[in-house]
Structures are given as structure tokens and as C-alpha cells.
Structure 1
Amino acid sequence: MPENAAGDLAGQVALVTGAASGIGAATARRLARDGATVAVADINGDGVKAVAEDIVAAGGAATAMTCDQTDADQVAALFADLEQLGQLDICVANAGWGRYGAFLDISLPAWQKTFDVNVTGTFLVCQSAARRMVELGRGGSIVVTSSCGAVNPVALFSAYCSAKAALNTMVTVMAYELGQFDIRANAVMPGVTETAMTEALLDSGARDYTLAESPLGRNGRPEDVADAIAFLAGPHSGFVTGSSLLVDGGASTFSPGWFGADFRERHRANWTPRHVQWTGRPG
């Protein structure tokens, strides 16, 4: 997004979930810079308070709201509080959660949490946002943070990739059903992005591998995804709905993923981090 785009969202109100850090925080800052009043929401109350204070200190308008989106009552309370802002033009459903693990070993609680946060929680937020937008009659834009794993699934991420694929489908159906209300629905699909969620694995020695496997020679930054979200949320994508946009530097098209196995070895789970295969050393 060009720098002269600042002000495109003046007079609009945006909600960003999962906004205490990473992509969500970068998105909240970007939308505020573009002129929107931003409701910054997250389960981490101290985190969203800090982000909102940063936005206000930079001359923007923001308010912090605490919400666990897996709790329907908390989501209802969040949207009741949002009514104080008078309108809702943009909803960025960004909150997510994921862990890696072999399919044979995933526990039911881990599987359920992955879907509770990523799918059910996102559904609750998007449905509430859509209902509010319909009520107001102003139209609006809903953007969901999915993942490149939704379309390029990789080993040891079956729960996460399945959940994100569900989000892509939900976005498609939302776009189809909500278009008559002038509400657009789209998704972004980040690749390897330098956030708290990926920090441990990248620091284990995987960073050199992911950099080498990226056609652009670097991992994503939260601001890269925030720029794409701002495009989908704003007026320059006015005829875009039902899309899922890869924001991964081309990496997922060419990279086989974080983990690999030697399939010549039969009847044994021998998954190894790709960076170990790639370098011959663990870190």
C-alpha cells in the first residue's frame, strides 16, 4: 500500500481481534494510520491496552477491549461494547492458535482447542460483525487471517491446516451470502512470518532454512500481512470478495514445509525438521 493511502479509512470504525501482538497489532496500527478508529481486541488485556496506547500516542484513535473469542458470552459482550463507537465498517478476525505434532500423536484437547480458537471463535466474531453491519445498513468489509497451510498443507500441522482450510471455505460462503448487504468477505493467507507463534521454531535453527527456501529471500513481517489486510479492508478492493490471498513471498509454492521424512524407511515415524535435513546439523 503506498504511503499516500493514509486517510482512506477516515471516519470508519474497525475491529481487530488477536491484536495484542504480531499481525493483529501491526494491522491495528496500519488501519489507525489510514484513519480508522480501531477497537483493539485480544484475550491478553494488558497487550491490547499497550497497543491502543501506542496508537493514540501516534495520533490515532483506538480503544482496548478484552475478549476470549471461544466464549460466546464474551463475544456478545465485545459487540455490545462496540455499539458505543456507533458503527462498524471493518472486522479483521485475526485471532488464532496452533501447535505442531504428528497426526498419530495429536491429543483430542489440542485438536479441539485448534478448532475452538481458529474456527468456532472466528465464526462467532464474523457472524456478530456481519449481523451488526446488516443492522447498520452501511455495508462493510470482513477480513479473516487464514494461513498458506490452508491451500498448501504440510506435515505435522494437520489440525492447524485443517482449521485454516475451514476458514477459507467459510469466507467463500460469507462472501456469497453477504454480498447483497454490500458486505465483502476475504482472507489473507500468511506464510512464515516472524511472530511470537513462530519464534521458537525459527530460533531452533529453522530460520536459515526458511530464508533459503523463500523466493524473496526473507521471512514475512507482520507489517507485510497488515498491508494486505488494509488493502482488502479498504476502498481499493471494492470489487474483491470471496478471495483468499497468499501473503508468503512465494515460499509455500516451492517449499515442502517445516518437516520431512525419508519415506524409504517403512513403518516408522521419522519426521525430521527440514533445516536439519538441509544443513545436516540441528541448529
Structure 2
Amino acid sequence: MGEQMRFEGKVALVTGGASGIGAETAAKLASEGARVVIADLDGEGAERIAAELRSGGAEAVGVACDQTDEAQVAALFSETVGRFDRLDVCHANAGWCRVGPVLDVSARTWRRHFDVNVTGTFLVCQAAARRMAQCGNGGSIVMTSSSGAVQPAAFFSAYCSAKAALNMLTAVMAYELGVHRVRVNAVMPGVTETAMTADLLATGARELFEREVPLARLGRPADIADAVAFLASDDSAYMTGQSLLVDGGGGIGASWFVTDFRARGSADWRLRHEALAAAAEAA
């Protein structure tokens, strides 16, 4: 079977494209024929990825954009359509995460999660939908949500809440935009090896995650990019409003962090394997 070229002649925009899932998705779409606009708060990083794609023969451009700034988002889409005269795919991928006990989460940290992950993603998807509707060719919007949107995780209260909001935004936008033949879906990655998860994985959590994921490994950016490309392409032409778990089956199992809830008023939170080992030793 020959190489797929599902995005030949199409224009794709990827936010959070300077690294990780976004960079991998940009490369995937470009490899299948898309002209790609890579946006990121790190403009130099976005242009670096674009340059790498151009060196391989793709047409790509990197743009600095803070997606929490409505004017910058508007300028990003004006530049995209002005340059390429259309927009077919938008991968709203940029995100932000900090970990901490719910009793210690500051209002500032909470707001930042929602500013970037919810409001910023909304602004990007709204702008994409407007351009797609104006161009009249339909299109596909894919948001990056998280397995945390449907699987509560201790210490991720703000992040899980924000990503859960994206799942509902996905469904509502899909319902409204069908008349414009614009499809809206989301991917929900499990624990994936990116810069965002590097600190957590460095704590020794890697072994736990690998042990509790049925496919016995962490996600890779390419795993998520493949799912995004599927949802962005005509291979999923009859799918809209869906949030797709891409987690190696990790969501089937229990939470990563556990405590003995019988200890009223205090909690000795441990990674699951540590708690099980301690319980076995005590027995």
C-alpha cells in the first residue's frame, strides 16, 4: 500500500506546535500533503519546527501566538487564511498544567489552567470555525483534551476540570457547526512522554504508569498525532462531537495515587505500587 496523502491540497493549523504532540502532529499532517501553520507561545520554537518541515519539502510556517490573547488569535487566523486562502484542519493543542493538592491550589493557578486550556482553546476553535464557515469547504477541528477529563486524578484538580470542560465544548461546537459541515472532535491522551510530563515521570512514576497501562508503555507523541490525523481526515468523515481516549487502556484501571481513606483528617498519599508494598509488608 502506498503512502497516505489524506491532506493533499489542504491547510492545517496546529497550536502548541513547538514541541511534543503538536510538533509531531504538524509533521504528520505535512507528511501527508498538508500546508501547515505552526503556532506557539514560543515563536522561535514554532519556526524551528516549521524550518525542519520545510527542509523535508513541506510548506510550513511558524508563528508566535499567545492563545489567551484574542487579538493575537485573530491575527494568527488572518495570516493563515491570507497566506493560503483556506483553512481545512485546526488542531487546538496548546495547554498548561501544574500539579498540587486541591487544598493548596491558588486562585491564580486555577485561573491560569482555565485561561490557557479552556478560554484559549475556545478562542482558537471559534476563530477556526468562523474561517471554515466563511471558506465554505467545511473542515475538521480537533482539540487536545486529556484522559484526566474522564478519570479523576489526585493533585490534578484544575487540569482535570479544565480538560473536562473541553469535552463539553467539543460536543456543543460539533452540534452547532454541523450545518457548516465543520466536524469537531477531541483526543484524550493518557500519560504521554512530553515536556509537560517530564517532571512527573522523573519522580519515579514511570514504572507505575507502565505497570498499570494494559499496553505496558507510556504514550508517545506519535501515538497521539496518529489519532489526531485520523480525526482530522476523511477517514472519520461520519464522526463529530466525540472525545477519543488514546491511553493504551490506562483509563480502564484505578487511580495512580491512593491513600487510606479510613485515616480521617489526614492523608498519606502514595503512588499505588508503594501503597500496595507497604500494605503487604504490614500484613
Name the TM-score, length of structure 1 as normaliser.
0.95
RMSD between aligned residues: 1.2
Q: Please tell me whether the aligned partners of residues 31 and 38 of structure 1 are also in contact (alpha carbons under 8 angstroms).
A: yes
- Correspondence list, 1:101-112, <5 A: 101-112=100-111
Q: Please tell me whether the aligned partners of residues 260 and 267 of structure 2 are also in contact (alpha carbons under 8 angstroms).
A: no
What is the CA-CA distance between 1:271 and the residue it aligns to?
A: 2.1
* Displacement over 6 Å in runs of 4+: none
Residue 170 of structure 2 is matched in structure 1 by 171
Q: Please tell me whether the aligned partners of residues 138 and 181 of structure 2 are also in contact (alpha carbons under 8 angstroms).
A: yes
**Which of 65, 68, 71 is the equivalent residue of 2:69?**
71
What is the CA-CA distance between 1:268 and the residue it aligns to?
A: 1.0
Distance 1:87 1:113 in 2: 32
What is the CA-CA distance between 1:238 and the residue it aligns to?
A: 0.5
Residue 38 of structure 1 is matched in structure 2 by 36
1:219 partner SS: coil
1:35 partner SS: coil
Q: Please tell me whether the aligned partners of residues 150 and 162 of structure 1 are also in contact (alpha carbons under 8 angstroms).
A: yes
Distance 1:273 1:254 in 2: 14
Specify every segment of 5 or more residues in structure 2 that has no aligned partner in the other structure, as ranges: 279-283
**Aligned partner of 1:68: which letter?**
D
**Aligned partner of 1:79: which letter?**
F
% identical equivalent positions: 56
Residue 272 of structure 2 is matched in structure 1 by 274
Give the 3 Å change call, closer, same or farther, for CA 265–174 of structure 1 in structure 2.
same
2:102 partner SS: coil
- Correspondence list, 1:7-22, <5 A: 7-22=5-20
What is the CA-CA distance between 1:5 and the residue it aligns to?
A: 4.9
- Correspondence list, 1:109-124, <5 A: 109-124=108-123
1:41 partner SS: strand
Give the 3 Å change call, closer, same or farther, for CA 279–199 of structure 1 in structure 2.
farther
Distance 2:4 2:49 in 1: 19
What is the CA-CA distance between 1:164 and the residue it aligns to?
A: 0.4
Name the TM-score, length of structure 2 as normaliser.
0.95
After superposition, give the CA deviation of every residue in 1:195-231 in whole Å (9 maximum; x if it has no partner). 1111111111111111111100100000000000000
After superposition, give the CA deviation of every residue in 1:127-186 in whole Å (9 maximum; x if it has no partner). 000000111111000000000011111111111011000000000001100001000000
Specify every segment of 5 or more residues in structure 1 that has no aligned partner in the other structure, as ranges: none
Q: Please tell me whether the aligned partners of residues 152 and 253 of structure 1 are also in contact (alpha carbons under 8 angstroms).
A: no
Q: Please tell me whether the aligned partners of residues 193 and 218 of structure 2 are also in contact (alpha carbons under 8 angstroms).
A: yes
Q: Please tell me whether the aligned partners of residues 206 and 275 of structure 1 are also in contact (alpha carbons under 8 angstroms).
A: no
2:61 partner SS: strand
Q: Please tell me whether the aligned partners of residues 208 and 275 of structure 1 are also in contact (alpha carbons under 8 angstroms).
A: no
1:220 partner SS: coil
After the TM superposition, which of the residue ranges 45-54 and 169-178 deviates more from structure 2? 45-54
After superposition, give the CA deviation of every residue in 1:75-118 in whole Å (9 maximum; x if it has no partner). 11111111222100000000000111111110000000000000
- Correspondence list, 1:93-108, <5 A: 93-108=92-107
Distance 1:22 1:253 in 2: 25
Distance 1:120 1:220 in 2: 26
- Correspondence list, 1:238-249, <5 A: 238-249=237-248
Residue 60 of structure 1 is matched in structure 2 by 58
